[in-house]
Amino acid sequence: MDLSDFKASDPTLKHIMDDPLSDFMIAQHLTKPNKQWPEHMSAEDTDLARYEWADEYLEKIAGLPLNLRHDLLYVSFSRNYDEAAKRLNPEYMANMLTAAAINAKTYGVETLTKLREKAGIVNLDYYGMASGALKSTIGLIEGDEGDPATLEHLRAGDVTVVFTDARGDHNGALKTGYQAYATESNRTLYFEINTPQDFYRHMALLKKRGIQPSTMVMQAHGHPGIMAFGELDDSKLAGFIMTNQYRDPENDAWKSGKVGAIREAKGLARAVNEYMQDSRGIDDNPEAIGRRRIILASCSQAAPQQVKRPKRRHADAYEESYESNVETLALLVDNPDVDFFAGDQPMNIRRTPEGIKFVRKVLGPDGEPIPTKGGGFTWEQFDPTHVRVNRRGKIVQSHVTEVVLRRPEQPQIPIEYPRRSA
């Protein structure tokens, strides 16, 4: 189907062609029955037809090649799915299509292809509507040596690097991460990862370019004892798992009896000590000078893990409690000049004028989130756990109202919303 056929494939499409980057128009088209998904079609077939149409849109309107289209449709499937209705959510899907098309128009398809290959970025709708958040990442990966002006600019300040789960965000909770850390100084770099190799590859690129971040953010889903990146199969332990759950008798940290084992955490700890540098207070807030910061933007990373052991012949069933992921990582890093921040419960991140706050959904008596009048849910702020290791190698914990990241004079990139022309 060429572009003219795509435009003519349904009468309602003429409104989208008049304003192809309006997510309101796209949502209207995806919602109403038409000859592609008539009223009598089953829910499953309707959703399949919508995805076929979305693939055409990304090809004809956004101009994305096959690999980019299929990556984006694949990773967006679960977060565009309405669990309550058991169907695709047209508004979520329209937002994804609009953001992808606008970013393709802003950066160019060739650049988006390079971002996928060199920075792992496939969630094209995660980085705002032409917000410029990816500008420095694009400069970092340009050519064989990077863009000289971009590299000089990054080296002149304090860099924040954000690693986001590429394929495991089942509900879109990680989508607003760019908003929390992006500033107009453009010294925030974004990568997406599925495996430990992805993480090491991106850190090696930073080292090759002479870029040493002072703040590292790890964004993924998690629960007590586990933070997971990528597509995970518990039987195979695929993907990138940072956890106390799978205890390895051959792991030195576990054998010492000091901490629970974290798969791949030794490499992460090495990156903190060898690939990062202390803050100089140029972009970071003055209190960060001489320190490094690690933010585990994942649920329950400061919660200890309770593991039930089964009843055996001569022993009753019992429960063991292991250190939280953030404690274990702090002990492995073993650097008193590194600050770690994590939440001890299910959470999300919201930005403040100078940093971030941790929030959680407010639950009703039935344990379900309380909806607001305008849709969505009610959120409340809670204090994240601040963890560090003191000079004697002991864990020190406290709580802070918010994580202050930047100087007051460092403005944020404004949040960009989809166009709502009707």
| Rounded (10°) CA dihedral 215, 72, 265, 145 | -60
User: Do 270 and 311 have their domain in common?
Assistant: yes
Extract the tokens encoding 308. 């039930």
Q: Give dist(CA 64, CA 72) in Å, integer.
A: 10
Residue 243 belongs to a domain? yes
Residue 117 belongs to a domain? no
User: Do 88 and 136 have their domain in common?
Assistant: no
Residue 69 belongs to a domain? yes
Residue 311 belongs to a domain? yes
Sheet holding 226-229, edge to edge: 221-223, 226-229, 240-243
What pTM was estimated for this model as a whole? 0.86
Structural domain harbouring 293 = 131-404
Beta strands at 215-219 and 160-165: parallel, antiparallel or unpaired: parallel
Closest CA to 263 of 286, 245, 275: 245
User: Do 215 and 311 have their domain in common?
Assistant: yes
User: Do 241 and 367 have their domain in common?
Assistant: yes
User: Do 352 and 395 have their domain in common?
Assistant: yes
Residue 2 belongs to a domain? no
Terminus-to-terminus CA distance in the chain, angstroms?
27
User: Do 389 and 348 have their domain in common?
Assistant: yes
Beta strands at 215-219 and 292-297: parallel, antiparallel or unpaired: parallel
Q: Give dist(CA 166, CA 162) in Å, integer.
A: 12
Beta strands at 81-82 and 87-88: parallel, antiparallel or unpaired: antiparallel
| Rounded (10°) CA dihedral 348, 306, 217, 79 | -50
User: Do 22 and 171 have their domain in common?
Assistant: no
Continuous H helices in 77-134? 90-107, 109-119
User: Do 141 and 263 have their domain in common?
Assistant: yes
Q: Give dist(CA 146, CA 63) in Å, integer.
A: 25
Q: Give dist(CA 276, CA 270) in Å, integer.
A: 10
Residue 120 belongs to a domain? no
Q: Give dist(CA 342, CA 340) in Å, integer.
A: 7
Instruction: Work out whether the CA dihedral 156, 158, 160, 161 comes out positive or negative.
Output: positive
Q: What is the pLDDT of residues 60-114, one digit of tens each?
A: 888 899 999 988 888 877 777 666 666 777 878 888 888 888 888 888 899 999 9
User: Do 12 and 83 have their domain in common?
Assistant: yes
Local structure of 117: helix, strand or coil: helix
pLDDT at residue 254, rounded to an integer: 42
Q: Which of 76, 99, 122 is the last residue of a domain?
A: 99
User: Do 249 and 298 have their domain in common?
Assistant: yes
Q: For the chain, how many structural domains are there in total?
A: 2
User: Do 55 and 172 have their domain in common?
Assistant: no
Which segments in the chain show pLDDT lower than 70?
1-23, 81-86, 129-131, 231-264, 306-321, 374-375, 411-422
Closest CA to 352 of 288, 298, 297, 406: 406
Q: Give dist(CA 281, CA 312) in Å, integer.
A: 56
Residue 107 belongs to a domain? no
Q: Which of 58, 82, 99 is the last residue of a domain?
A: 99
User: Do 155 and 240 have their domain in common?
Assistant: yes
Residue 106 belongs to a domain? no
